[in-house]
């Protein structure tokens, strides 16, 4: 970790501090901590983690525990390619929910836009156009930076997340060449990327700017979300909730549901709603 003097200090974690913790990893990239410096081995001992202003977390794959990917961040850049690997609406839906839970502003970055026709890009964006979601487009060959995105990154703490091969590392190299992050290839048979980033790491790219690069995501289990509270993290769905016949309407099986009516009339995009139902069916009732 780095202290206020911009020095790197290798730290251990005080075991008793995290006894019976629900977290799979006790300290995340971006955490602000208090530590004591040892006079003998020059190591630090973390004795306290300050409260997190925001966080990105998920359910640890294969384990019932919360994995905090990054903490104290302003923006979640959801990086998705038009193809190779395939665009996954439901994965984006899950990360949008996680951003809402963790009090992070999400931004969608669609890469490899030169590999598909323009109408395909419009199709990919369509489900998200009615959301308050900013987006940026990026091509494989484009060398010029988007000035708005560049300014945003240099004046905030941002975390990049998406599938392997979607272009997270390429995007960082384009905007910050000095990082020289290794880039992997997409498999010809699987059309999936290889993991070139194997752990979460924070890069300081300006005086007040940090970008956190993460390993490729294949699964994104939502922590502490149930069928009962999922709709709280869909603002567009909540705008219709008061019009439903049943007060505790979940907007899936119930009759006279204003949300389902809004889907029928295309006020809510069917792909966005399908993503909601897919997540709903994967969650415990309470």
d(C-alpha 87, C-alpha 124), whole Å: 8
Q: What was the pLDDT predicted at 193?
A: 41
Look at the chain and count its residues.
Answer: 286
Question: Per the structure block, which two tokens stand in for 215?
Answer: 């390993």
d(C-alpha 186, C-alpha 245), whole Å: 49
Q: What was the pLDDT predicted at 140?
A: 82
Q: What was the pLDDT predicted at 183?
A: 66
Q: What was the pLDDT predicted at 21?
A: 61
Quick check: helix, strand or coil at residue 77?
A: strand
Show the DSSP H helices in 68-166 as ranges. 89-101, 118-125, 147-154
d(C-alpha 37, C-alpha 214), whole Å: 29
Q: What was the pLDDT predicted at 97?
A: 96
Strand partners, 197: none
Q: What angle do CA 25, 29, 31 make, to 5 degrees?
A: 90
Q: What was the pLDDT predicted at 195?
A: 42
d(C-alpha 91, C-alpha 274), whole Å: 12
10-residue block means of pLDDT along the chain (286 residues)?
A: 69 71 75 85 84 92 83 97 94 96 97 95 94 92 86 95 90 88 53 52 90 89 93 93 92 95 95 96 88
All domains of the chain, ordered by start, with CATH? Answer: 11-49 (no CATH), 55-213 (3.40.50.300), 230-282 (1.10.40.50)
């Amino acid at each position: 970790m780095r202290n206020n003097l911009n020095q790197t200090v290798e730290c251990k974690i005080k075991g008793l501090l995290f006894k019976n913790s629900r977290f799979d990893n006790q300290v995340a990239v971006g955490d602000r901590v208090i530590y004591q410096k040892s006079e003998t081995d020059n190591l630090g001992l973390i004795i306290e983690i300050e409260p997190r202003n925001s966080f990105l977390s998920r359910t640890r794959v294969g384990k019932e525990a919360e994995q905090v990917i990054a903490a104290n961040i302003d923006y979640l850049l959801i990086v998705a390619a038009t193809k190779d690997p395939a665009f996954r609406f439901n994965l984006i839906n899950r990360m949008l929910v996680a951003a809402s839970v963790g009090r992070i502003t999400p931004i969608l970055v669609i890469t490899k836009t030169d590999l598909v026709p323009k109408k395909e890009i419009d199709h990919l964006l369509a489900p998200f156009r009615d959301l308050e979601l900013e987006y940026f487009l990026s091509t494989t060959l484009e060398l010029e930076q988007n000035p708005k995105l560049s300014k945003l990154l240099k004046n905030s703490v941002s975390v990049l997340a998406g599938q392997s091969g979607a272009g997270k590392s390429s995007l960082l190299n384009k905007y910050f060449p000095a990082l020289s992050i290794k880039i992997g290839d997409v498999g010809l048979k699987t059309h999936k990327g290889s993991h070139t980033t194997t752990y979460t790491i924070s890069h300081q790219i300006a005086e007040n700017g940090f970008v956190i690069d993460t390993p490729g995501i294949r699964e994104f289990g939502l922590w502490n979300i149930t069928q009962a509270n999922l709709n709280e993290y869909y603002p567009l769905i909540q705008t219709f909730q008061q019009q439903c016949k049943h007060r505790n309407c979940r907007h899936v099986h119930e009759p006279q549901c204003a949300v389902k009516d809004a889907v029928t009339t295309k006020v809510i995009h069917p792909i966005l709603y399908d993503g909601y139902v897919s997540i709903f069916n994967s969650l415990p009732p309470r």
